[in-house]
Structure 1
């Protein structure tokens, strides 16, 4: 077996490896049962990043050319028509299981699709169009877009505006050479995980947390350690116990207005987290996609990035303030980290489109943007306070909750008896849409509500219906 890499070619490196292996399989040079070199061995031979070989082998496995065997290696598969058909069937069945949402979410989304006007929607995880700042954009011509210069890190005027946005909220000003634009917070996480981790590594994440749904963790066989979250954020004492037992390579945290609980990590916890990670030399990814939606401006707590600039990688998003269709995020990290992320992005052929970058730059440059962002923050704050007051007046004995310091999620926990998944079907029957905790963690006691999608009239009706359901839950309490 021989592989040659041309680093000056426009063909991505992983694709060059794939093409040559496929040709050698077709020519009979590589036969059924042949064991390919390990990912690390081939990467060292070709003087390339190991993640590139991992990508090539993963793609070949997905297409039915090879099979990965745990603790054994990667082997060439038979290319007979029958085996290819069986492999295709397995892919369809596997992907259907892998990407299928819970039965509850499927029922809920069907309800929202068919009866959206009758549903009180606290489930959908984004701002409604009515709250997205309405920014007027200038008239621009096609040539203006095409002539804009964009570096590997993204459109410089937008990076500068984002740096100013972060500074206005936290008094922390990212350096332009350490700020990279991405296609949203999800892409930022995926690229960083691939750049920082290798197959078999261990990562610590919050529980409950949307981090558990990142498919790349499964794809790379990353071991996930779940650390509980309380009203003060990630429980660092539990993390410390895990660190002493496990070789943890990375920590993922969402310290401000955490998704799904809405909690904010206290200053004491932030200091302890930084101290722990400094002691054990564990890098942190600080996910702050809701950071611009603080109810206090500037934000009351410093960024982890500001507290430990060399060990924390900071990511944010414009999608939470400019709308989910504006898929733009950023990574603030040392230049050597961004260099690796850029290589990965280019190998995956996912360079960022210039159009959303320029449009977002226009939006953030608009003289009314700051005023409209402040209005959005104030609107969310008022809605959250109104919703909490309703809960305190009607359900405080049955449901526990904490007033968030920002964002648009609140976490409600029923405290009278143990709930089952079937108990939550009462909400669907009543056309109340929430995200139950059992869809993202083991517990069935809690739910996430997006108050951004509920005006005061809808909140009144929401809490009234929820009260009726809680009364039904209470009837089943053993005497």
Structure 2
């Protein structure tokens, strides 16, 4: 795989000429077809790590060659690749194809966040993954380098995933009170694929999904792109509020309710045992199936989380989802769905049609960690480290945010839900922080009407980054409050 092209700052060729050549090459070979809007001058300057004047010079020469043009309201657009003038018929308009795709694009802010997360210099104050320092990369390398068990294969696994892994997950879930035979477990390539399979296999176009508000689901389009509608239910300190569930279910003819009871994303809320029992009772009464997303459930700090909803499910009402992405490593891409066998059979059939099974190598690694006891030891370490990071972050908030915001104290997971005392214009704050290499996750990506929250994560940034980033963020919030 070719590496991303980089400037050679030691070359005799001027920097603007190298940039000109690289952009022209991308235009000429069809990577950037006619009609494509190229990145802004600021984004290009950041990408190539040069002054904006260097970018202006390179773009000026491309414009002089008739390859690009600045248009009001559209930015700078590719208008010619020279081949289009020579061809007897014009090339396909790939931009029309892009706009015609059924999968909705991410909202602009999410796209900015996704791009910024690739910048190693960025202080990522909202990133929902473990710090590289907390990932046991060397130990995982030993798993791959060590003696592989006789069960290991590089061939395709069964439609539901490795039987060996499903047997081990079945035993693992018993510790949570969830009784699931291997036949009722489907291995998926992360929780997001699980949601995709559910949207494709169990729901029809126009279905309605009830979700907590705010919700992580609002920041992705897995259900919306399948033609489905999300309807929010308010939360309090004990989790999703139950009063409106029945009414909203009947009003919208809701097909499912999606919930993250343990250390909710983005609020960090832990649903109480009583609330869980009430939620299960109401959904049973309303014949409303649930998707229980338990990816953070193992990350409690002082006392274990209450048993999952699935542990009390006697009627096959709950589709239970788990994952290794938040505990062992997102790069493994291994998760699971537990549900009634007919549902698992349906979803496994669709999975085979889309990717022919999750990585056999990753499945084997997860099985080895779960079966050997390494995973439980790792969890003890991660819980301890995350608790320290939480406490460090809370101390910074007490010192620098006491008069401008308030916040919850999470009992596990990754997130602190920071609420400003006064509403702010979130977009200017986000943009200004981004200019200063501080990446935020504003509340309006989880609830479009929210102008008062940030999702803070203590899981990813280093201690130094947390300190410098939060000190500067407090200054920025004060500046925006005064403007």
State if a TM-score over 0.5 links the two structures: yes
With over 3 angstroms needed to count, the CA separation of the structure-2 counterparts of 1:380 and 1:83, relative to structure 1, is same
Rate the CA distance shift 1:231–1:336 in 2: closer, same or farther, 3 A.
same
CA distance in 1 between partners of 2:190 and 2:104 (Å): 22
**Residues 285 and 315 in structure 1, CA contact (< 8 A), matched pair in contact too:** yes
Match of 2:24 in 1: none
2:129 maps to 1:122: no
**Aligned pair partner of 1:445 in 449, 452, 456:** 452
CA separation of 1:106 and 1:187: change in aligned 2, threshold 3 A = closer
Match 2:310 to one of 294, 305, 313: 305
Cα pair 2:270 2:411 within 8 Å, conserved: yes
Residue number in structure 2 paired with 1:475: 482
Aligned to 2:185: 179
- Structure 1 unaligned regions, length at least 5: 1-80
User: Is it true that 1:230 corresponds to 2:233 in the alignment?
Assistant: no
Counting only pairs closer than 5 Å after superposition, residues 291-370 of structure 1 correspond to structure 2 as: 291-296=297-302, 299-309=304-314, 310-370=316-376
1:183–1:328 contact (8 Å) kept in structure 2: yes
Q: Could you report, residue by residue, the CA deviation over 1:160-180 in whole angstroms, capped at 9, with x for unpaired residues?
A: 332333333x24343222222
Contact 1:129/1:323, CA 8 A, preserved across alignment: no
The residue that corresponds to 1:131 in the other structure is 134
Q: What is the Cα deviation at residue 435 of structure 1?
A: 0.6
Matched residues in 2 for 1:97 and 1:315: separation? Answer: 23
1:8-407 equivalences under 5 Å are 85=92, 89-95=95-101, 98-102=104-108, 104-108=109-113, 112-114=117-119, 116-117=120-121, 119-133=122-136, 134-135=139-140, 136-137=142-143, 139-140=146-147, 145-146=152-153, 150-168=157-175, 170-296=176-302, 299-309=304-314, 310-407=316-413
CA contact (8 A) 2:407 2:417 kept: yes
Specify the alignment match of 2:8 in structure 1: none
The whole-number CA distance in structure 2 between the counterparts of 1:110 and 1:312 is: 35
- Please report how far the alpha carbon of residue 141 of structure 1 lies from its aligned counterpart in structure 2 after TM superposition: 6.3
Residue 187 of structure 1 and its aligned partner are, at CA, apart by 1.0
Gap change, CA 1:156 and 1:238, over 3 Å in 2: same
Residue 464 (1) aligns with residue 467 (2): no
Residue deviations 1:97-150, cap 9 Å, x none?
932541x45555555545x33x32223332122101334316246986338894
Corresponding residue of 2:418:
412
Q: 2: distance between equivalents of 1:281 and 1:84?
A: 53
TM-score by length of 2: 0.73
Compute the TM-score of the two structures, normalised by the length of structure 1: 0.74
Contact kept, 8 Å, 1:421 with 1:444, in 2: the verdict is no
* Separation in 1, partners of 2:429, 2:211: 28
Q: Distance in 2 between matches of 1:332 and 1:256?
A: 17
Evaluate the alpha carbon distance shift between residue 338 and residue 399 of structure 1 in structure 2; reply closer, same or farther with a 3 A threshold: same
Residue 49 of structure 2 is matched in structure 1 by: none
1:336-384, Cα deviation, whole Å (9 max, x unpaired) = 1111112222233432232211122122233443222210111011211
- Note the C-alpha offset of 1:389: 2.5
The whole-number CA distance in structure 2 between the counterparts of 1:242 and 1:144 is: 48
Between 424-433 and 268-277, report the one with greater CA deviation: 424-433
CA distance in 2: counterparts of 1:108 and 1:343, whole angstroms: 34
> Which whole-Å deviations, capped at 9, do the CAs of 1:266-306 have from their partners, x for residues lacking one?
22321221121111101001011112222245x23121111
Distance 1:148 1:404, change over 3 A: same
CA contact (8 A) 2:209 2:256 kept: yes
Quote the offset at 1:246 in angstroms. 2.2
Alpha-carbon distance in structure 1 between the residues aligned to 2:222 and 2:170: 28
Q: CA RMSD in A?
A: 2.9
Distance 1:430 1:238 in 2: 43
- CA shift for structure 1 position 434: 1.6
C-alpha distance after superposition, 1:312-341 (max 9, x if no partner): 110000121221110001011111111111
Is contact 2:332–2:362 with CA below 8 Å preserved after alignment?
yes
1:323–1:153 distance in 2 versus 1, CA, 3 Å: same
The Cα shift of 1:216 comes to: 4.0
1:194 positional shift = 2.2
